[in-house]
Amino acid sequence: MSQNFGLKLKQTQQLNQHLQQSLRILQMSGLELEREVDDWLQDNPLLERPEPADDAGDTEFSQISASLPRSNQIGGDDAEDVWATIAGEDDFNAFLHKQVCEHPLSEEEAARIHILIDFLDDQGYFTDSLGEVIDHTPLEWMLNENDLQEALDLLQTFDPAGVGASNLTESLMLQLLRLPASPERQLAAKIVQQSLDSLSRSRQQNLAKARKMFPDSDIDTIQTALDLISKLNPYPAYGFASAEPTAYVQPDVWVKETKTGWTVIGNDNAWPKVQLNREYCDLLKEAGEVSPEWKEKLSEARQKIDSLELRKSTVIRLAEYIVEKQEDFFVFGEIGLTPMLLKDAAAELGVAESTVSRAVNHKYLSCPRGVFALRYFFTQAVCAEDGEGVSQNAVKAVITQLVESEDKFKPHSDEMLSKLLKQQGIDIARRTVAKYRESLNIPSATQRRL
């Protein structure tokens, strides 16, 4: 028996405790950070909240808020659905994240599933490509499509049934596969795969169509198959939103138009403030010799304050980068979005991709057009005829406009939408149009016809 020995060179990065804390603080949402700061204050007597000096910050906040057009404010009864979506996002994701611990997974598999969960859309679909996930995650995570595909297959076994599907058809198929095998289930799967777009709200019409398509199936089997389909959930994430909509989302930054252009203003109300307790610090100075425990408390307090400042400056710098690159969005709306990747922002700001990924997590920007997650502005490019990239969100906005302006008695098919997009310089395939249409929750042409 022969033995082979070899050397393997591997580069790793060791993070000190201070940097680990700063990255963890950077990733937190505003609410999570408030709770974290409360824990700091209870644990370390050298930290305290500063006394409110005056109402200057609140006045500036109110002035900015008042300057925004009321019709575009997010709040009140008209925006209830928007707030429910924002409120429900974490609830649904948390439900999935908790399930990771309930499955027999390796650490690597669990980590990849956690990543994919954060890429699901509001309906619980996974509409991005695996390549897009890799492009929008740090290089040091060393993801590849084969491993991510295995993780996606595992995610699709989670509850609710149908989660992680790329579209409605796949979601319904995943749900059907969990039902006991039977001729009715087999027929329901055929109907979903072959004629889902032709189904209507009329039970009699669906029954008549199914009998023509599947003449070898008896009437009872067809009726049961249609009943199975009607009981499926078209959007896995539905039902997870809080019963009460979130009353208010605290934006981290405000974007306001000034004479010199669009300006980013940090929202002081969104940043927890802590400072050293001067009274205790003076006592420590007077004591002269300080015990190691108190020295550690003092060092810890300063590190925590530095972490908050770093979080604030990083988010504001990132917001300024977004405003600079996406200026057309603030002027023209979603159709003005341009492709932008995390790695581009990281290179511009001189930080790691993982830092940018954490900075956009659960951070919000408020502007005259509403409140938007920072991650919303990072989108993959779609090829245009002139060779320039077009943002996926911009393409979706164009599709929405085309559907809204179409003849309701003769709506555009996906093929026609693809041709109309090409006339505007956006060259994408019919299947891609269908994927974007479904992600926008726009029914097929047959279902839109009056």
Q: What is the pLDDT of residue 446?
A: 82
Alpha helices of 196-326 — where are they, by DSSP H? 203-213, 219-230, 278-287, 292-325
Q: What is the pLDDT of residue 55?
A: 47
Q: How far apart are CA 137 and CA 19, in angstroms?
A: 20
Domain of 214 in residue numbering reads as: 92-231
- Region 157-179 average pLDDT: 88
The residue with greater pLDDT, 437 or 244, is: 437
Q: What is the CATH number of the domain that holds 408?
A: 1.10.10.60
Dihedral of the alpha carbons of 11, 16, 22, 24, in degrees to the nearest 10 = 70
pLDDT tier for residue 226 given thresholds of 50, 70 and 90? confident
pLDDT tier for residue 265 given thresholds of 50, 70 and 90? very high
Q: What is the pLDDT of residue 323?
A: 93
pLDDT at 193 over 90: no
Q: What is the pLDDT of residue 213?
A: 82
Residue 410 maps to a domain:
yes
pLDDT at 347 over 80: yes
The residue with greater pLDDT, 262 or 247, is: 262
For the segment 350-367, what is each residue's pLDDT rounded down to a tens digit? Answer: 888 888 888 888 889 988
Q: Assign 121 to helix, strand or coil.
A: coil
Q: Are 136 and 341 in contact (CB under 8 A)?
A: yes
Q: What is the pLDDT of residue 357?
A: 85
pLDDT at 90 over 90: no
pTM of the model: 0.53
Q: What is the pLDDT of residue 389?
A: 61
The residue with greater pLDDT, 283 or 154, is: 154
Residue 96 maps to a domain:
yes
Amino acid at residue number 362: H
pLDDT at 60 over 60: no
Residue 125 maps to a domain:
yes
Q: What is the pLDDT of residue 384?
A: 54
The residue with greater pLDDT, 156 or 222, is: 156
Q: Which stretch of 102-106, 122-126, 230-234, 289-293 has the lowest confidence by average pLDDT?
A: 289-293
Structure tokens at 301: 């307090």
Q: What is the pLDDT of residue 218?
A: 86
- Region 256-279 average pLDDT: 88
Distances 135 to 46, 129, 273, 277, 326 between C-alpha atoms, Å: 43, 10, 35, 45, 19
Residues with Cβ < 8 Å from 217, sequence gap 6 or more? Answer: 183, 187, 210, 211, 225
Q: Are 197 and 446 in contact (CB under 8 A)?
A: yes
Last residue of a domain, one of 231, 250, 282: 231
Residue 363 maps to a domain:
no
Residue 107 maps to a domain:
yes
* DSSP secondary structure string for all residues of 362-384: T-EEEETTEEEEGGGG-B-EEEB
Q: What is the pLDDT of residue 188?
A: 86
Residue 419 maps to a domain:
yes
Q: Are 172 and 232 in contact (CB under 8 A)?
A: yes
Q: Are 317 and 377 in contact (CB under 8 A)?
A: no
Last residue of a domain, one of 176, 210, 231: 231
Q: What is the pLDDT of residue 2?
A: 55
Across the chain, mean pLDDT equals 78
pLDDT at 58 over 50: no
Structure tokens at 251: 């934006």
Residue 204 maps to a domain:
yes
The residue with greater pLDDT, 254 or 422, is: 254
The residue with greater pLDDT, 200 or 23, is: 23
Q: How would you classify the pairing of strands 364-367 and 275-276?
A: unpaired
Q: How far apart are CA 193 and CA 170, in angstroms?
A: 9
Q: Which stretch of 38-47, 64-73, 291-300 has the lowest confidence by average pLDDT?
A: 64-73
Q: Are 27 and 19 in contact (CB under 8 A)?
A: no
Q: What is the pLDDT of residue 450?
A: 67
For the segment 291-345, what is each residue's pLDDT rounded down to a tens digit? Answer: 788 888 888 888 899 999 999 999 999 999 999 999 888 888 887 888 888 888 9
Give me the number of domains the chain comprises.
Answer: 2
Structure tokens at 138: 């740090």
Radius of gyration of the chain (CA): 26
Last residue of a domain, one of 202, 231, 260: 231
- Region 228-251 average pLDDT: 67
Residue 135 maps to a domain:
yes
Residues with Cβ < 8 Å from 304, sequence gap 6 or more? Answer: 21, 40, 44, 47, 274
- Region 128-135 average pLDDT: 83
pLDDT at 66 over 70: no
Bond prior to 160 in cis (omega within 30° of 0): yes
Q: How many residues make up the chain in this entry?
A: 450
